[in-house]
């Protein structure tokens, strides 16, 4: 998966002080669930381009941010320099190989990342910090366009379910947790060339061989009068905190 995430880095969202529509909402939900990063140490697992990393670093004493994608980390490092952060360290490593320090972090954070996706990853996250925060998919996602593309390549769309797997693990381990569910309605509009690139990547991550002609024919059905491909998506997020 490393090369595929490197391919996505240039079009992935990146940190801005004002944030996008989702980040402030999620951070507000965290605060309501008793999360306070002020003066705390944080490990950001699968940090990507650092959308949440730097938002957390505005309050935290130190953030250690790790990711398997060197290209994602380059974007984060650019923004660390651009906005003058001096309390963020980056690590080009997968979660399974990241060496935990002798002292536990105050917080472990995983936001929309496949880095924590199995019992071993969940257990390591549990050991790594006093309080753990996980933002992931709740096994529901409405996207007619992506469903049609995947069906056209001989497969069936299944929504991401990282949060479901974590909840099952927590319940097996008898670990209490707090849960906030958050639905998001989103409309994406992008030129055909960019849409081709994005959906080709989605198919590749599902181990499907993209057929460019088939992809283009389907995308053209979703084009508006300006020639942009429009996708309407309903995301269902789970924010999980345990201590």
The tens digit of pLDDT for each residue in 67-124 reads 999 999 999 999 999 999 999 999 999 999 999 999 999 999 999 888 898 999 999 9
The mean pLDDT of the chain is: 93
The Cα 160–Cα 194 span in angstroms is 23
Beta bridge partners of 65: 44, 90
What does the pLDDT look like over 13-72, one tens digit per residue?
Answer: 899 998 777 888 999 999 999 999 999 999 999 999 999 999 999 999 999 999 999 999
Structural domain range at position 12? 2-141+158-186+235-242
- Ordered strands of the 129-143 beta sheet: 88-92, 62-67, 41-45, 105-111, 129-143, 228-242, 178-191
Question: Is 19 domain-assigned?
Answer: yes
Check residue 136 and give its pLDDT: 92
Q: Work out the angle at residue 27's Cα, subtended by the Cα atoms of residues 12 and 110, and round it to the nearest 5 degrees.
A: 55
Stronger pLDDT, 132 or 234, i.e. the higher one: 132
| pLDDT band of 162, cuts 50, 70, 90 | confident
- Considering the domain boundaries, does residue 193 fall inside one? no
pLDDT band at 8 (very low <50, low <70, confident <90, very high): confident
Looking at the domain assignment, is residue 200 inside a domain?
A: no
Is 219 within a domain? no
Task: Give the per-residue pLDDT at 2.
Answer: 52
134 located within any domain: yes
% of residues, the chain, pLDDT over 70: 99
Q: Decide if 32 is inside a domain.
A: yes
pLDDT band of residue 12 (cuts 50, 70, 90) is confident
- Give the confidence band of 3 by pLDDT, cuts at 50, 70, 90: low
Q: Is residue 12 included in any domain, yes or no?
A: yes
Look up the CATH number of the domain holding residue 133. 3.40.50.150
Indicate the number of domains in the chain: 1
DSSP 99: P
Section 176-193 average pLDDT = 93
C-beta pairs of 74-79 under 8 Å, 24+ apart in sequence: 74/9, 75/9, 75/12, 75/14, 75/49, 75/50, 76/15, 76/47, 76/48, 76/49, 76/50, 79/14, 79/15, 79/49, 79/50, 79/54
Residue 220 maps to a domain: no
Does the pLDDT at position 1 exceed 60?
no
């Amino acid at each position: 998966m490393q090369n595929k995430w490197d391919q996505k880095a240039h079009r992935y969202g990146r940190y801005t002080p004002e944030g996008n529509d989702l980040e402030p909402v999620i951070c507000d939900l965290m605060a309501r669930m008793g999360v306070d990063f002020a003066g705390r140490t944080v490990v950001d697992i699968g940090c990507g381009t650092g959308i949440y990393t730097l938002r957390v670093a505005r309050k935290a004493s130190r953030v250690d941010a790790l990711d398997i994608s060197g290209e994602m980390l380059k974007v984060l490092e650019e923004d660390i320099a651009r906005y003058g952060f001096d309390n963020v360290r980056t690590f080009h490593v997968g979660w399974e190989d990241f060496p935990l320090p002798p002292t536990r972090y105050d917080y472990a954070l995983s936001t929309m990342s496949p880095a924590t996706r199995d019992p071993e990853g969940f257990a390591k996250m549990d050991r790594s910090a006093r309080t753990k925060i996980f933002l992931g998919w709740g096994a529901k996602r409405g996207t007619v366009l992506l469903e049609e593309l995947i069906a056209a390549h001989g497969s069936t769309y299944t929504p991401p379910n990282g949060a479901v797997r974590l909840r099952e693990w927590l319940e097996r381990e008898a670990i209490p947790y707090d849960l906030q569910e958050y639905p998001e309605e989103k409309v994406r509009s992008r030129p055909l060339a960019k849409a081709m690139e994005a959906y080709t990547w989605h198919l590749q991550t599902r181990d499907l061989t993209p057929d460019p002609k088939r992809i283009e024919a389907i995308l053209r059905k979703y084009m508006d009068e300006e020639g942009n491909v429009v996708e309407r998506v309903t995301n269902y997020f789970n924010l999980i905190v345990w201590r």
